[in-house]
């Protein structure tokens, strides 16, 4: 019988992994995130992984404290997954962020590489090892591009969310989009809540929640509202509206907020900052 093994190797970076492992000699990697590429498994440490994901999860034109806050949220989610799994290795699918290697970023940014890579490196290193915790346990570092005027309140599994009014968002040119459907599409808008948001939509007789409907039709987010007539849906904001609103966070920085910890406490309640290692 012939056995085929995937090759596991460690990405060559300017950082050393900080995560000890009893089986590191066997696997050639001492803990971290396993990235699957072209039949190989790339093992990267958490800080390298955050650098590779930062540019895919936020607009790098954002203010430095927002980039730092985003790095903390990514790290918090990673350590949350680490705690749930109890393993020193996490598969990239478990974490769910999009990772690009240094070489991939160089190819994407071209002549702008040094400037942009310096941003993600600085934001990661300035917050190294810091995670946001609720009752001493890492939180799910939820964030959105732009809430529909206010972030989602705490509830259920996420008691640390804080509802924040983000009135500046409405001035953003990408805040709102309109979706108009035809009679033959057989779309019927369901009930709305007190804020006018649509909870569900019937499409060709099939009930769909707002998130599923928005995703299928390429809309910016699940915050659907009745438009000016029976065949118009208005979408406010971009994303699910939970956790840190990146657009509003950047607006706060431009008004003088310079501390990423204070910025994060704007969007999360009853949380602490803890220094962790793998």
Interval 179-189: pLDDT, tens: 999 989 999 99
What pLDDT is stored for residue 178 in this prediction?
94
Q: What gap in Å lies between CA 266 and CA 278, rounded to an integer?
A: 28
Q: 209 and 73 share a domain?
A: no
Asked if 65 contacts 46 with a C-beta cutoff of 8 angstroms, the reply is no
Q: Is residue 89 left, alpha or beta, with left meaning phi > 0 and alpha meaning psi from -120 to 50?
A: beta
Same domain, 149 and 204: no
Q: Do residue 215 and residue 151 come from a single domain?
A: no
Mode of pairing for the β-strands spanning 40-44 and 7-10: parallel
pLDDT of residue 39: 86
> Which phi and psi (to 5°) does residue 145 adopt?
-70, -45
pLDDT of residue 195: 81
Q: Print the domain residue range for 182.
A: 176-236
Residues 50 and 111 in one domain: yes
17 with 140, same domain: the answer is yes
- Say whether both 13 and 44 belong to one domain: yes
**Same structural domain for residues 157 and 246?**
yes
- The residue with tokens 């705690």 is 83
Q: Which residues contact 256 (CB under 8 A, 6 or more apart)?
A: none
For residue 142, being part of any structural domain is answered with yes
CB 52 within 8 A of CB 101: yes
Length of the chain: 278
Total domain count, the chain: 2
- Report, as ranges of residue numbers, the positions in the chain whose pLDDT lies below 50: 1-27
Task: Return the pLDDT at 229.
Answer: 86
pLDDT score for 29: 57
């Amino acid at each position: 019988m012939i056995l085929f093994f995937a090759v596991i190797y460690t990405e060559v970076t300017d950082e050393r992994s900080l995560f000890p492992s009893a089986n590191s000699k066997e696997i050639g990697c001492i803990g971290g995130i396993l990235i699957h590429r072209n039949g190989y498994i790339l093992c990267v440490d958490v800080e390298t992984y955050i650098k590779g994901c930062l540019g895919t999860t936020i607009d790098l034109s954002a203010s430095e404290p927002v980039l730092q806050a985003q790095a903390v949220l990514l790290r918090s989610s990673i350590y949350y997954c680490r705690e749930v799994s109890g393993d020193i290795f996490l598969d990239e699918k478990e974490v769910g962020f999009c990772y690009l290697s240094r070489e991939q970023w160089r190819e994407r940014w071209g002549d702008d590489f040094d400037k942009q890579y310096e941003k993600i490196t600085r934001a990661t290193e300035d917050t190294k090892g810091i995670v946001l915790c609720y009752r001493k346990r890492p939180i799910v570092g939820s964030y959105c591009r732009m809430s529909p005027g206010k972030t989602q309140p705490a509830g259920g599994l996420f008691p640390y969310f804080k509802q924040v009014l983000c009135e500046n968002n409405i001035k953003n040119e990408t805040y709102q989009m309109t979706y108009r459907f035809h009679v033959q599409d057989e779309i019927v808008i369901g009930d709305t809540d007190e804020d006018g948001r649509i909870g569900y939509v019937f499409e060709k007789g099939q009930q769909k929640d707002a998130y599923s409907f928005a995703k299928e039709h390429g809309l910016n987010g699940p915050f659907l509202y009745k438009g000016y007539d029976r065949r118009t849906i208005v979408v406010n904001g971009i994303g699910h509206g939970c956790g840190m609103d990146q657009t509003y966070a950047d607006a706060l920085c431009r008004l003088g907020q310079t501390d990423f910890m204070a910025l994060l406490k704007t969007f999360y309640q009853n949380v602490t900052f803890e220094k962790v290692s793998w």
